[in-house]
C-alpha cells in the first residue's frame, strides 16, 4: 500500500506542475488576444477607405481594362494561400484551416482547375511536407505577431504568379483561406477569392461594413477626376489592396489563434484540476486502506499475544 500511495502523490505533483504551465499559457494568450483584436480594429478605417477609392476608380470607368479586374472566365490554374499557426496547443485552429483548404482543392479539381499551394505557418508546412505535397512558397515564424512586410512578400509572390500567363505556369485565380475572428468564443474559417477582384458599384459594401439595401440607396458615389489616369491609379492601389487584404487576414488569424489557444489551455487546466481531485481521492482511499490494514495487524497481534498468555 505504501508504494501505491507514493505513486499517487507523485502523479498529483506532476499534474499540479502541468496545471501551473497551462494556466500561465492561458493568461498569456488572454492578454495577447486584446492586443491582436486592437490591431484588427485599427485596420478597419483604412481598409474601408482603400476599398472606397478602388470602387470609385473602377465604377466610374466601366470601359477600364485592368488585369486585376478581369473576368474569371474559364480558369485553368488557381493559387490557394493557407494561413495556419506556427505553434501548437491551439486546439483545432490549424486543422480546421487545412481541412477547408483541402476541400477547396477538391472543388477546384471537380471543375478541372489545378491548384498551387502557398502556406503560411509551420503547422500547414508540416502537414503538406509529411504527405509529400508540393508547396510553391512557404512563410513561417510570424503567425502570432504578423508584420505588414510579410503580407507584402506574400502579395508580391501571388501577384507575380497571377500576372504570369497560365501557359507559362501562372494562375488565373487566387484564394485566401484564414480564420476570421468574431469574438473570444467564435472564430470561423473563411475562404475568399482575392483575384480576380470583384468591385461593386457601391462603396458601402466593404471590409467589416454592414451592407443593406437602404444603405446602398442612400450612399452617393462621388464623381472624381483622376490625375493621373484611373488605369495608373489602379496600378498603384490594387496591388496595395491585395497586400492589405492578406495583412488583415494575418491579423484575424493571429487573434483567432490566441483565442483558440486560450480555450485549449483553459480546458487543459480544468482537466488537470479534475484529475488532481480524482488522484487525491484515490490517494486518500489508499491511505485509509493502509491505516485500516495497520490497525487490523495491531489488533491481530494483540489477540495472538492474549491467546498465548492464557
Q: pTM value?
A: 0.79
Per the domain annotation, does 190 fall within a domain? Answer: no
Q: Would residue 9 count as lying in a domain?
A: yes
Mean pLDDT for 162-183 is 88
Q: Is residue 270 part of a domain?
A: yes
SS3 236: helix
What tens digit of pLDDT does each residue of 111-122 get?
A: 888 999 999 999
Residue 201 has pLDDT above 50, yes or no: no
Structural domain that includes position 17: 2-22+264-301
Reported as a single tens digit per residue, the pLDDT across 4-56 is 888 888 999 999 999 999 999 999 998 889 888 888 888 888 877 877 777 77
Identify the pLDDT of residue 217. Answer: 43
- Angle separating helix axes 148-163 and 230-309, nearest 10 degrees: 120
The overall longest dimension of the chain from CA atoms, in Å, is 122
SS3 174: strand
Residue 177 lies in a domain: no
- Give the Cβ contact number of residue 92 at 10 Å: 13
Question: Which is more confident, 234 or 177?
Answer: 177
Mean pLDDT on 160-179: 88
* Rounded average pLDDT over 239-268: 91
Q: Chain-wide mean pLDDT for the chain? A: 83
Is residue 288 assigned to a domain?
yes
Average pLDDT of the segment spanning 163-192:
89
Would you place residue 259 in the very low, low, confident or very high pLDDT band (cuts 50, 70, 90)?
Answer: very high
What beta strand segments (E) does the chain contain? 77-83, 114-120, 137-139, 173-181, 187-195
Provide the number of structural domains found in the chain: 1
- Tell me what percent of the residues of the chain surpass a pLDDT of 70: 83
Is position 291 within any domain?
yes
> What is the structure's pLDDT at 124?
93
Provide the angle, in degrees to the nearest 10, between the axes of the packed helices 122-130 and 93-110.
50
74 domain-assigned: no
Q: Over 60: is that where the pLDDT of 276 sits?
A: yes
pLDDT exceeds cutoff 70 at 212: no
Average pLDDT score over residue span 92-106: 93
The CATH number linked to 280 is 1.10.287
Of 43, 1, 177, residue with least CA distance to 100: 177
Q: How far is CA 160 from CA 66, 135, 172, 195, 292, in A?
A: 15, 16, 11, 12, 78
Q: Residue 261: is it exposed, middle or buried by C-beta count within 10 angstroms (0-12/13-18/19+)?
A: buried
Query: Is 105 a member of any domain?
Result: no
What is d(CA 138, CA 35) in angstroms, rounded to the nearest whole number?
26
Q: For the packed helices 93-110 and 230-309, what is the interaxial angle rounded to 10 degrees?
A: 130
Amino acid at each position: 500500500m505504501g508504494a501505491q500511495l507514493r505513486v499517487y502523490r507523485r502523479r498529483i505533483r506532476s499534474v499540479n506542475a502541468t496545471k501551473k504551465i497551462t494556466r500561465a499559457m492561458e493568461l498569456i494568450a488572454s492578454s495577447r488576444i486584446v492586443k491582436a483584436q486592437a490591431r484588427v480594429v485599427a485596420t478597419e478605417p483604412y481598409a474601408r477607405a482603400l476599398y472606397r477609392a478602388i470602387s470609385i476608380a473602377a465604377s466610374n470607368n466601366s470601359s477600364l481594362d485592368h488585369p486585376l479586374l478581369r473576368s474569371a472566365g474559364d480558369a485553368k490554374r488557381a493559387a490557394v494561400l493557407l494561413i495556419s499557426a506556427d505553434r501548437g496547443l491551439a486546439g483545432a485552429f490549424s486543422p480546421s484551416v487545412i481541412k477547408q483548404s483541402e476541400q477547396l482543392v477538391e472543388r477546384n479539381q471537380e471543375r478541372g482547375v489545378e491548384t498551387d499551394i502557398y502556406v503560411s505557418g509551420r503547422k500547414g508546412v508540416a502537414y503538406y511536407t509529411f504527405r509529400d505535397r508540393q508547396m510553391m512558397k512557404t512563410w513561417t515564424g510570424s503567425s502570432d505577431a504578423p508584420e505588414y512586410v510579410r503580407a507584402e512578400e506574400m502579395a508580391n509572390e501571388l501577384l507575380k504568379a497571377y500576372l504570369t500567363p497560365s501557359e507559362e505556369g501562372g494562375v488565373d485565380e487566387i484564394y485566401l483561406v484564414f480564420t476570421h475572428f468574431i469574438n473570444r468564443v467564435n472564430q470561423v474559417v473563411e475562404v475568399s477569392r482575392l483575384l480576380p477582384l470583384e468591385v461593386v458599384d457601391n462603396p458601402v459594401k466593404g471590409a467589416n461594413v454592414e451592407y443593406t439595401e437602404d444603405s446602398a440607396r442612400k450612399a452617393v458615389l462621388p464623381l472624381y477626376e483622376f490625375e493621373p489616369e484611373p488605369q495608373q491609379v489602379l496600378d498603384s492601389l490594387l496591388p496595395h489592396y491585395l497586400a492589405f487584404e492578406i495583412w488583415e487576414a494575418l491579423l484575424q488569424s493571429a487573434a483567432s489563434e490566441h483565442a483558440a489557444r486560450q480555450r485549449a489551455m483553459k480546458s487543459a487546466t480544468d482537466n488537470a484540476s479534475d484529475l488532481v481531485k480524482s488522484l487525491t481521492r484515490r490517494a486518500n482511499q489508499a491511505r485509509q486502506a493502509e491505516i485500516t490494514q495497520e490497525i487490523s495487524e495491531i489488533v491481530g497481534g494483540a489477540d495472538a499475544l492474549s491467546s498465548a498468555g492464557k
